[in-house]
Structure 1
Amino acid sequence: MTEPNPSVPNWRKATASQGSQGCVELAKVHGVVGIRDSKDPDGPKLFIDRNAWRALADRVGRGELDIA
């Protein structure tokens, strides 16, 4: 078995995106969270620190942000 390359993100579909049209993928990358659209994996990506990701996910989960 080969070891994973830490410089290559291991993208996975976000739990909340399972079965939906708006598929968000996440990856842990050197202490930050990478976010991308699964339909456009070569497109733009957003990288934020883990605390910011937790705060964003909490606010979305509470319905505080208009994400439509």
Structure 2
Amino acid sequence: MINRHDIDLSRADWRKSSHSTAQGENCVEVAQTGSHVAVRDSKCPDSPILILHHQEWSAFLAKIK
């Protein structure tokens, strides 16, 4: 399991989906961090962050498409 504290997110470029609006309340944000993708709740950026390997992220995206 990847520990959030093992990944440096201090300079992460968090992005929302292009389908989100500025007032969107139920959004997630993602950030690329080397060989990982970080996912968090846009309303609570200090809440737990999900860290996935790029392969896991790609598989997740393929399933939801």
TM-score in terms of structure 2 length: 0.71
| Residue matched to 2:6 | none
| Residue matched to 1:28 | 32
Q: 1:48 aligns with which of 40, 49, 52?
A: 52
Query: Which protein, 1 or 2, shows the higher relative CO under an 8 Å CA cutoff with sep ≥ 6?
Result: 2
Q: For structure 2, list consecutive stretches of 5 or more residues without a partner in the other structure.
A: 1-8
Aligned partners of 2:54 and 2:17: how far apart in 1? 15
Total equivalences in the alignment: 55
Q: For structure 1, list consecutive stretches of 5 or more residues without a partner in the other structure.
A: 1-5, 62-68
Flag the structure with larger Rg: 1
Aligned partners of 1:31 and 1:15: how far apart in 2? 23
Percent identical among aligned pairs is 35
Alignment map for 1:1-68 (pairs within 5 Å): 7-16=10-19, 18-19=20-21, 20-61=24-65
TM-score in terms of structure 1 length: 0.68
SS at match of 1:22: coil
RMSD (Å), alpha carbons:
1.9
Runs of 4+ in 1 over 3 A off after TM superposition: none
